[in-house]
Structure 1
Amino acid sequence: MTDPTTASVTEDSEHIAELRQQLRTGSEKKQLQLISELTSLGATGLEVLMEFLKEQQSTPANLVTGLAYQALYQVNAPNTTAFLQTHFPTGLVPLRSEVGIDYLPLQQRLALADFLAADRLTLEKLCELAGAAAIQRKWLYFSEVENFPITDLQTINTLWFIHSQGKFGFSVQRELWLSFGKNWEKLWPKIGWKAGNNWTRYPNEFTWDLSAPRGHLPLSNQLRGVRVIASLLSHPAWTSTSKGDG
């Protein structure tokens, strides 16, 4: 007669083996679902996620590895923290900058899904790109945006995209903007920045989690007019082949 405890352990190990295999070979949708299931299994599930991330280390960041990384990062347990510090000390996305800007604080806020803090940091980093005058005034001129390095904009965008399951980022906003024939009045309600004639009020009326519409974040101060966001969404970063996610 089989010991019930032994049978249970065998079933558990078979289940974990099955989840491990599905995580490697399933569709993107299935993989994303599996990550939350594995996280809920505790230490055993987290081991599978660490193993998976290590296997994927040489491939560019994608939505699946991004979510697996975030799951481990947010657990904040000694073993997961040590694993990430060893193998991914600055996250999954290469933090490239042509002008020496440190994007690690932005990576950390996005890994925690702290989108409000990440949005504020994004504006700070854009002002850093623009120079001392923009840092002091805390907002941008469209002419400054035109001169932003391609690499830096791609880094910021990739961080947002990878850590939002593909919902947020300038490239998402650009895709929607182009789909509306560059019609701003159609874009604003689509991304949740305007309802009827009323602009969404900062910060309390914006949605700081993944229940937000696609393209909701990061914000741009559209109340100053559309020239800054038009410069951002028209920037050559989005048509350049040297994507900042490799």
Structure 2
Amino acid sequence: MTDLRDRLKLEPLKTQLLLIQELADSGDSGLDVLMDFLLDQRSTPVTPAQGKAYQVLFNADHPKTNEFLQTHFPQGLVALTSERGIDYAPLQSLLVKQDLQAADKLTLEKMCELAGETALQRRWLYFTEVERFPITDLQTINTLWLVYCDGKFGFSVQRELWIGVGKNWDQLWEKIGWRKGNSWTRYPNEFTWDLSAPRGHLPLSNQLRGVRVLAALLSHPAWITKAIAPVQAGQP
């Protein structure tokens, strides 16, 4: 168990995620290692490995782990900062529980709330509203998706893939599973609401209304100014 404890701090993300699952299956001793890991990492930027460890402890629903999380992480792992007073705690809760379909819907709702009352009533966004989003809020939403989804999902992941295909939208749709050949993925039943989905599959970002909203999101200064780098399983 000591060996696993040491490796958990040093290995790349893909290996960390495997080790965390191994520890999750190891009973109380494994949970103890994960609690130590989270405490040891508190002073570092939050990562998908920490998110996975938190989820394991949360889902253990054990008096010891419940007390630990309530004592040390009562608000979860991610600092839920907002320039406009938006409450992102419900989104964090859904992502911790891996209710990704509900989290996706709430993400759009929170972005509409961020855009203002008119957008909240219409339930969709104009690209001009997205362009005015505060950097802080977009980074908060993005970090929640990254941290609790093994680094696979989030706007910064979609941006990385978009740039990787030369900003070619048709290639991006195929890569993230929003279209196959000439057939668009139909909402909601044809989308994949778990971590088996392709990288960048979620959140949907109002994609049914064309590219302008997503283009505004992926071109936002949030990913340039104090940008949060996407984390890919398998990278250090």
The TM-score bracket by the shorter chain reads: over 0.9
1:7 is matched with which residue? none
1 CA distance for matches of 2:229 and 2:150? 17
Q: Tell me the alpha carbon deviations over residues 25-79 of structure 1, each in whole angstroms, 9 at most, x when there is no partner.
A: 3343332211111111111110111111111111110121111111111222222
**Residues 153 and 203 in structure 2, CA contact (< 8 A), matched pair in contact too:** yes
* Cα 1:29/1:226, change in 2 over 3 Å: closer
1:51 is matched with which residue? 36
2:81 is matched with which residue? 96
1 CA distance for matches of 2:152 and 2:184? 21
Superposed displacement of residue 244, structure 1? 10
1:108 is matched with which residue? 93
2 CA distance for matches of 1:244 and 1:104? 22
> Partner letter of residue 142 of structure 1?
F
Show the 5 A alignment for 1:1-246.
Answer: 16-241=1-226, 243=228
> Partner letter of residue 149 of structure 2?
S
Taking CA–CA contacts closer than 8 Å with sequence separation of 6 or more, which of the two structures ends up with the larger relative contact order? 2
**Residues 23 and 34 in structure 2, CA contact (< 8 A), matched pair in contact too:** yes
Superposed displacement of residue 18, structure 1? 2.2
Over the aligned positions, Cα root-mean-square deviation in angstroms equals 1.6
- Structure 1 spans left out of the alignment, 5+ residues: 1-15
**Residues 156 and 228 in structure 2, CA contact (< 8 A), matched pair in contact too:** no
**Residues 114 and 133 in structure 2, CA contact (< 8 A), matched pair in contact too:** yes
What TM-score comes out, normalization by structure 2 length? 0.93
Superposed displacement of residue 242, structure 1? 5.9
Superposed displacement of residue 102, structure 1? 0.7
Q: Tell me the alpha carbon deviations over residues 144-195 of structure 1, each in whole angstroms, 9 at most, x when there is no partner.
A: 1011000000000011011111110000111111111211111111100011
2 CA distance for matches of 1:26 and 1:185? 35
1 CA distance for matches of 2:44 and 2:224? 22
1:8 is matched with which residue? none
- Structure 2 spans left out of the alignment, 5+ residues: 231-236
With 57-66 and 143-152 compared, the bigger mean Cα shift is at 57-66
Number of corresponding residues:
230
**Residues 141 and 228 in structure 1, CA contact (< 8 A), matched pair in contact too:** yes
The percentage of counterpart residues that share the same residue type is 65
